[in-house]
């Protein structure tokens, strides 16, 4: 048996020295050291040896196994080193080449407009109030003077989750929540930016989701002239110092009186063009004095306090400001479209 083991050692070493690839090396490992390998087959005859011979043969077998394993390990390390060197040669970097220019991102045009609006109103002493997009029917409608079955609810058809939970149709709920949190204290000066949802079919001027920024001021002796002066200041900072506004009577359930606000066309300065349909005016927001019932719902006495509110769509303002003719561009993720605003 000793002779068989020595012969096995010589045979294995000879074959391992000629190995040229990893697959052959693995095959030889199984051939000589596997469960059904040559060494195992020889050692099955250990039972026929005498007690004196077994330790000696066992020592020889261990030496043979150690020699084969050592050579296999050496070969494996050599293959790994060669593979690493080959990969390094293939992947080496020429440091003399010019660097790759990194693509620089930019702020989305909608975010630009929202940030600009926020900065204008913060400069006038307003605070930003944000709240949930999933709202209760009470805050979205009832507290804003829109009780159940009120026909004006049809103007803001939305997505209901349950009978009492819905995706908000406006950011006005934050006005009521803010009034409640103030517990009758004044002054209140906030703007409420955020995303809103309505069941509109998407087209060039409508989207089922869009942004809205609403404002609320409550105090003593707040008048319509305060509202007009605030909006005039806003549009001149937004569109230019020569911008004018006009208020047209309108209807909103949560304000009385109410008005639609137009600004002189930013394209033609009011002389008339295709953008303003040759009227010289563009509608940008709605506003009015806070309805007494809304004041009561918010915890204020309309005999003591008054206020005004307004609401605008940053999407529409961005379309007017940048000459964009389709609201869907804002939400399509078209990189070519967004690149136009990267450095504006």
- Within 8 A by CB and 6+ apart from 55, the residues are none
DSSP code per residue over 199-266: ----SSS--SEEEEEEEEEEESS--HHHHHHHHHHHHHHHH-TT--EEEEEEEETTEEEEEEEEEE-T
Q: How many CA atoms lie within 13 A of 344 on its CB side?
A: 17
Pairing of strands 188-197, 127-128: parallel
Helix (H, G, I), strand (E, B) or coil at 311: strand
- Read off the tokens for 331: 């939400």
- Contact, 161 vs 190, CB < 8 A? no
- ∠ CA 176-284-319 to the nearest 5 degrees? 115
Where is the binding site for Mg(2+), in residues?
Answer: 256
Q: What are phi and psi of 236, to 5 degrees?
A: -70, -35
Alpha-carbon span 139 to 177, nearest angstrom: 8
- Answer whether the bond into residue 60 is a cis peptide, omega within 30°: no
255: which strand partners? Answer: 252, 290
Where is the binding site, in residues?
Answer: 256
């Amino acid at each position: 048996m000793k002779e068989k083991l020595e012969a096995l050692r010589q045979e294995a070493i000879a074959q391992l020295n000629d190995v040229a690839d990893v697959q052959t090396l693995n095959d030889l490992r199984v051939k000589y050291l596997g469960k059904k390998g040559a060494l195992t087959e020889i050692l099955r005859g250990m039972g026929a040896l005498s007690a004196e011979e077994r330790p000696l043969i066992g020592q020889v077998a261990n030496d043979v196994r150690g020699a084969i394993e050592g050579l296999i390990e050496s070969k494996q390390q050599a293959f790994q080193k060669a593979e690493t060197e080959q990969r390094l040669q293939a992947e080496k970097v020429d440091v003399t080449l010019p660097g790759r220019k990194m693509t620089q991102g930019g702020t989305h045009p909608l975010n630009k407009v929202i940030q600009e609006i926020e900065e204008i109103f913060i400069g006038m002493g307003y605070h930003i109030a944000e709240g949930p997009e999933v709202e209760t029917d009470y805050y979205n409608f009832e507290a804003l003077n829109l009780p159940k079955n009120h026909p004006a609810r049809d103007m803001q058809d939305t997505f209901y989750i349950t009978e009492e939970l819905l995706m908000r149709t406006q950011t006005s709920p934050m006005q009521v929540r803010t009034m409640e949190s103030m517990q009758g204290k004044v002054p209140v000066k906030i703007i409420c930016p955020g995303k809103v949802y309505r069941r509109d079919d998407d087209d060039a001027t409508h989207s089922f989701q869009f942004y809205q920024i609403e404002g609320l001021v409550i105090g003593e002796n707040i008048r319509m002239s305060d509202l007009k002066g605030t909006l005039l200041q806003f549009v001149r900072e937004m569109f230019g110092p020569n911008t004018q506004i006009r208020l047209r009577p309108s209807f909103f359930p949560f304000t009385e009186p109410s008005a639609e606000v137009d600004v002189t066309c930013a394209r033609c300065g009011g002389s008339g063009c295709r953008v303003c349909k040759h009227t010289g005016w563009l509608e940008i927001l709605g506003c009015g004095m806070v309805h007494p019932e809304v004041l009561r719902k918010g915890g204020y006495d309309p005999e003591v306090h008054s206020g005004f509110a307004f609401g605008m769509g940053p999407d529409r303002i961005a379309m007017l400001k940048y000459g964009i003719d389709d609201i869907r561009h804002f939400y399509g993720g078209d990189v070519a479209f967004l690149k136009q605003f990267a450095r504006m």
